[in-house]
A and B are shown apart, each in its own frame.
Chain A
Amino acid sequence: MNENLQHSDINNDMMAGVNEIISLNRNKPGASITVLRKCQDVVGYLPVELVGYISRGLNISESELFGIASFYSLFSMKPKGKNVIKICMGTACYVKGIKEVMNRIGNAYGIREGGITDDKRFSIESVRCLGACGLAPVMVVNQDIHGAMSSDKVLDVLEKYH
């Protein structure tokens, strides 16, 4: 195991979690995506330095692991807000006006897709179809699914998240 990584967003508990995930998967073929996913769950996102650290732990090249982390949309190398807003960009949601919902949030909080508010209260990302088309348009805040969103309702919902 290489020396622990020093990073402002990773505390000691997280580091221990990351080390455990790496050691459990070190010799498994094809484990890189699983390891990245689990480490992201622990830390909240994947700082570039952490990707390097994991690559040394798994004994694969840093460029290869970075290639994987940047390929899949699940992985984020940017920090996320206290509340993560996910906007479903499926067809049903689009037909029913998710773009207008997204614009409304953007205007109100001054953020764009993939961005984070200055006070770190919200970050917003668009996600692929969540398969909850019966509820379209759908917005997910943290773990809560909000269906039948509209541009006039959305801010009332978001105001409850601090």
Chain B
Amino acid sequence: MNKIRTQLMLCGGTGCHSTGSLAVKEALNSELKRRGLHEETQVIETGCNGFCAVGPVMLVHPEGIFYQKLTLDEIPKLVEEHFLKGRPYKKLQYVEPASKETIPIMNDIPFFAHQMFWVMRNKGIIDPEVIDEYIARDGYFGAAKALKELTPDQIIEEVKTSCIRGRGGAGFPTGLKWQFAKASPGDVKYVLCNADEGDPGAFMDRSVLEADPHSVLEGMIIAAKAINSHQGFIYVRTEYPLAIKRLEIAIKQAREYGLLGKDILGSGFDFDIEIYQGAGAFVCGEETALMRSIEGKRGMPRPRPPFPAHKGLWDKPSVLNNVETLANIAQIIVNGGKWYASVGTETSKGTKVFALSGAVNNIGLVEVPMGTTLRSIIFDIGGGIPKKRKFKAVQLGGPSGGCVPEQYLDTPVDYEAIAKVGAIMGSGGAIVMDENSCMVDMARFFMDFIQDESCGKCTPCREGTRRILEILNKICDGKGEPEDIESLKHLSYIIKDSALCGLGQTGPNPVLSTLRYFIDEYNAHIYEKRCPAKRCVALLKFEIDPEICTKCGLCFKSCPTGAIEWKKKEVARIDKSKCVQCLTCFDRCRFGSIF
């Protein structure tokens, strides 16, 4: 047998796939072969590494050296330098933006150094398509313990001790949920996994499924034993083809190993899992709607009670957990609930994964212990705001959440603390906005989303969100009137109070939270017909202020339609008949001279 000296853990997540990691893999393999290194060096495609911003990325084992932004042209040089001559190739290493210092070791890079990997403990370390690698990392030990050593009550007790709360957003205690489902009478019960990650700007669940699908299956097996269910479903978005593929492989391998199916591990317990692909409806992330959708119907929520723990899928008692919640379960069973509860704040334990994106340097997946401040996530891990722009707000919780402005950045990651400042923990989307984002326009963006995704069953949500959107459109178009602010508030509170499901009840949150913190921007739109962030096209003149213009010509060079006239040492001018109002020049101008 060949002795493998070095393993190249190449990221095969969706982000790196689309920046060309598959081609890089081929190039690496052929270059290693050409150099005669292919027997001692192995290229392994892993799941999402998390540092999507600098993809394709690769980790070299055992040294732990991190390479980023791999391109086909650089591969021969990389192989020659590092794997033939044994000196790491600096050109592809991470450079700290502030200090300009090259950091070779992955765990020294601030993006990784401030994180704590529990849910993502296997990301980038194992090949997600090989079950043995998961097992080698103590995989399925939790399931074995639950099936052979623990009673359902003991499992539930352990999960309750851990104090883990639902990671889908609402934060309901998982142990309690299981206890209700267990107590429900009935022979047929279901364990469901919610992988319908619909919040725009959230990709935690996708990454977990792509990097470590077995951890989710294991969590479901343990849940099944706890409530005595024999059939599980994973409801996954059809927009995630790679996650679906990896789940299919994982389920097949688990069946072959006797970890799913009849008499699992000789325990006499039967459980199997099916994948159900969603068809693109945000509301199906709501539990009762998700169940209707698996039944093959329009995914519309129904009033609760009866709660799914009593009457869920096909009217049978069901437990529905989020991907991230389930991925925590095996470790809770192996290490104990007390171990899990040792990290976090008073009411929120363990870790939370965030999908950090938007106007931030280090875009990617971030797992931090509960209690970490938002400032630390954005500035220590995220590396701050690019282009020397100013931080404005971070949006948490997607369309159900809200914005947290600068003055509350020291809020810790904690269900209650985040709710207090008007946002929600949510599933983990964290979109950073700089001074170039218009908060009225953001409120409009989310309302457009909610209005479009409203299932139409209840009137407050169907009609109310549309009326809110109309008002916001009016304000962005420069036709806002002073009384619009009151109307927005009034409508928002009515919808929150009277909508049928979570989508409607939380839908007005982005409006309320921007009204709370950014009323100045609303006022500027309404009274001065001015958009301070210069995003609302109807409020822009597309002219250049000669006082501010530095005559640099950047706008001229970037204009896609040649609408800008400029000569050296002259102020630029926009020809409005050619201008298509694409805002490229606004983005390019570093001095804010275009208005």
Contact = CB atoms under 8 A, between A and B. Distances in A.
Contacts of A94: 200, 442, 445
B437 interface: yes
B200 A129 contact: yes
Contacts of B280: 72-74, 127-128
Nearest to B581: A103
Interface stretch (A1-9, A47-55, A132-140): A132-140
A121 B353 CA distance: 41
Contacts of B273: none
B406 to A, nearest CB: 17
B264 interface: no
Interface string B397-435: 010000000000000000000000000000001010100
A92 B52 contact: no
Contact of A135 (B52, B278, B294): B52
B296 A75 contact: no
Contacts of B442: 94-95
B357 A136 contact: yes
A159 interface: no
A92 B358 contact: yes
A131 B296 contact: no
Interface in B1-39: 14-15, 17-19
Interface stretch (B92-100, B119-127, B201-209, B301-309): B201-209
Given A104-B560, A104-B580, A133 B201 contact: yes
Q: Which of A32, A131, A146 has the most CB of B within 10 A?
A: A131
Interface in B429-480: 429, 431, 433, 437, 442, 445-446, 449, 455
A130 interface: yes
Given A133-B52, A134-B364, A136-B357, A73 B584 contact: no
B60 interface: no
Contacts of B294: 30
A135 B395 CA distance: 18
B55 interface: yes
Interface string A54-90: 0000000000100110011111000000000000011
Contact of A92 (B198, B201, B279, B298): B201
Interface in B237-295: 238-240, 277-282, 293-295
A26 B363 CA distance: 46
A118 interface: no
Nearest to A70: B298
Given A132-B52, A134-B357, A152-B558, A30 B14 contact: no
A136 B194 CA distance: 25
Contact of B239 (A37, A107, A127): A127
A103 B580 contact: yes
Interface residues of B, number: 60
B580 A33 contact: no
B281 A132 contact: no
B560 A151 contact: yes
Q: Which of B19, B239, B429 has the most CB of A within 10 A?
A: B239
Nearest to A101: B582
A155 B442 CA distance: 26
A97 interface: yes
A73 B281 contact: yes
A68 B584 CA distance: 40
A104 B358 CA distance: 21
Contacts of B239: 127-131
Interface in B157-211: 197-203, 206-207
A104 B582 contact: yes
Contacts of B314: 29
Q: Which of B277, B295, B560, B583 has the most CB of A within 10 A?
A: B560
Contact of B293 (A33, A64, A100, A133): A33
B19 A147 contact: yes
A96 B358 contact: yes
A33 B289 CA distance: 14
Contacts of A92: 200-201, 357-358, 363, 431
17 contacts: A29-B295, A91-B398, A92-B357, A96-B359, A97-B583, A97-B587, A103-B581, A128-B198, A129-B198, A130-B14, A131-B206, A133-B201, A134-B52, A136-B358, A138-B18, A145-B17, A151-B584
Interface of B: 14-15, 17-19, 52-53, 55, 197-203, 206-207, 238-240, 277-282, 293-299, 314, 355, 357-359, 363-364, 395, 398, 429, 431, 433, 437, 442, 445-446, 449, 455, 558-560, 580-584, 587
Given A75-B279, A96-B359, A133-B201, 7 more contacts: A31-B296, A91-B201, A91-B431, A96-B358, A131-B355, A135-B18, A151-B582
